[in-house]
Chain A
Amino acid sequence: MSAPLLQVENLSVSFNTEDGVVKAVDGVSWSIEPGQSLGIVGESGSGKTVGGLTLLGLTRSRRTTVTGRAMFEGSDLVSMDDESLRAVRGKGIAMIFQDPLSSLHPFYRVGDQIIEAIQVHSPTPKKVARARAAELLGLVGIPDPSARLDSYPHEFSGGMRQRAMIAMALSNEPRLLIADEPTTALDVTVQAQILELLDRLRRELQMALVIITHDLGVVAETAEQVAVMYAGRIVEQAPVNELFSHPMHPYTWGLLRSIPKLTGPRNAALLPIPGRPPSLISRPTGCAFAQRCAYAEDECRVTDPVLAATAQGRQSACLIPHERRMAAWPALAAGGTEADARKVVRGPK
């Protein structure tokens, strides 16, 4: 196991708003090694996007408080001054976003936007930078790249715009690419192309990839490690196959049971998670998921569980002993009722 490229420790982000202090990210820790891929999955308001933006200092403002550490190649991104952080942005860590149309400047040619990204980190003659930009567009699979440099973003299709964003992100050979919902705005056939492209680039360029998404399918196809976030925290972390074959956290169970599937019995009822996520302003005491959890006990409403190692390479934050949780999933996966699972989870009294 090599040294981590980025190690996030106990990262918290809170925003001062008129309604109160919103704790968007609440003590999150994860790490990623060079060339590895990590999926961060969660619903809206889980803190997945805020966490990613905070790493690059993109949430910095007078109303934001960030605590914890994010060690990237020996320096802490959280305490770093603006100017040093600027040198990391786009060079050490690059980022792409959900909507490629609104993420590209509508008034500048695609090529010029890439050239700008190249030149900001290393003084490069315009001609050389232009040739490099064309090379990058070719690398991400845009046909006739030299000619397309002169196109404006609105002249590209949705998929090509996201390819152009990726080309721009690659322009300084970053060691880490953070992709925030990179395919949510795209059609499914184009999404498949982009996911494959990201996977290919990660392997070819030995670039680590953090993919932030709400879509469990996207995570399954692109990530090696997965962190599931709920109400600002990571509730479960595991290698991708483990997570989908033996999920350990009741929230992950709920997510997996609530999505319709492409295979298997069709008329199996969907089992939604009741209720909705808690307020991030006044977090309930105890486990934040307890109010929606079918297995919660009295203890869960009092004690806040911490993310703890359970099996090899796996972590979860739940007060119920993990052996009993492990035992409950197979029945649930087969469509079993929560009442039956509850008996397994609670164990013999």
Chain B
Amino acid sequence: MSEPLLRVTDLVKHFPITRGVVLQRQVGAVRAVDGVSFDVAQGETLGLVGETGCGKSTTARMLARLIDPTSGKIEFDGEDLAGLKGRALKDARRQIQMVFQDPYSSLNPRKRVGSIIEEPLRIHGLLSEGDARRKRVQELMDRVGLNPEHYNRFPHEFSGGQRQRIGVARAIALEPRLLIADEPVSALDVSIQAQILNLLKDLQKDMGLTIIFIAHDLSVVRHMCDRVAVMYLGKIAEIAPNEDLYAHPRHPYTEALLAAVPSPEPGRAGRARALLGGDVPSPANPPAACRFHTRCAYADAICSAEEPLLLQRDGSVAACHHPLSG
């Protein structure tokens, strides 16, 4: 196997909790991301799934260098992004672009769509001639299924689905190699979701994009991704190729997540299922050892004593003392 496009090693993000007005001292930390490692191969789509507080969005924002990691390495094409500054960081950012969840709040309402889409070109000093830039923007609009003549309209004149297309056009304007999509369809109606998902798949095929796809909806992730990493409280519980993960979950949390998804498929509804009790614990004070042991049906003494390592077992990698057999 060739070198991965992205290699994340032991990535950590702790948000400090401070007390005091003048002299702030740290009294604790929200361990949003607490030692996450994974690879993404060129052209692959990796899914990050998990519930509130699992750290998937924080991970995404660190990969795009919107926030700095507390520690860990983010190697993109062999170069560590965590240490980059200034010019080098700007160049790296060209390669990594992001699509955000809320198409209503992630576009500046006072700017015309054309100028929103051309902004990355301007920032990176590409196509400095107005005409060329405009032509490129209209190409991009056409590419994502927007009418290029609507170049001069404002975001509020578009529907939710169209706005998300604008967000996608902006993200691909610089022809990035890695696209990070953070819950790109959660705010959209179901019939519109499919339009955006298909668009992302098409773009991936045409541009050879590598995608990190973050979502809480397991059926959407199943549709989009080649491999899936399941996160729980800042750690990866399981990472596996798509088919394996959905057919044979190894980690009890993955199993519970899958069982919890309500599904309109005849035969799946009404099945007996093991429901997880309780809520996700706070990432400011996660359970010791295995973080899932407080809600796990299979937990025993070792689970609250020793942290399980992410271990490879035929294709799947799971962090569990009692992995489920296929």
Contact = CB atoms under 8 A, between A and B. Distances in A.
Contact of A276 (B192, B218, B246): B192
Interface stretch (B102-110, B174-182, B252-260, B311-319): B252-260
Contact of B195 (A157, A256, A260, A272): A272
A193 interface: yes
Nearest to B50: A187
Contact of B266 (A44, A245, A255): A245
Interface stretch (A81-89, A130-138, A214-222, A310-318): A214-222
B256 A189 contact: yes
Contacts of A21: none
B305 interface: no
Interface string A233-271: 000000011001100000000111011111110100111
Contact of B275 (A44, A157, A193, A255): A193
B204 to A, nearest CB: 13
Q: Number of contact residues on B: which range applies?
A: 35 or more
Interface string B143-176: 0000000000000000101000000000000000
Nearest to B161: A276
A272 B265 contact: no
Interface in B270-313: 270, 273, 275-277, 279-280
A160 interface: yes
A273 interface: yes
Main secondary structure of the interface of A (DSSP, over half): helix
Q: Number of contact residues on A: which range applies?
A: 35 or more
A280 to B, nearest CB: 14
Nearest to A268: B223
B265 A244 contact: yes
Contacts of A262: 218-219, 222, 246, 258, 261, 263, 265, 268
A5 interface: no
B194 interface: yes
Contacts of B218: 188, 262
A237 to B, nearest CB: 16
B222 to A, nearest CB: 6
Given A259-B190, A260-B222, A160 B279 contact: yes
Interface in A5-28: none
Interface of B: 51-52, 159, 161, 189-195, 197-198, 216-220, 222-224, 242-243, 246, 256-266, 268-270, 273, 275-277, 279-280
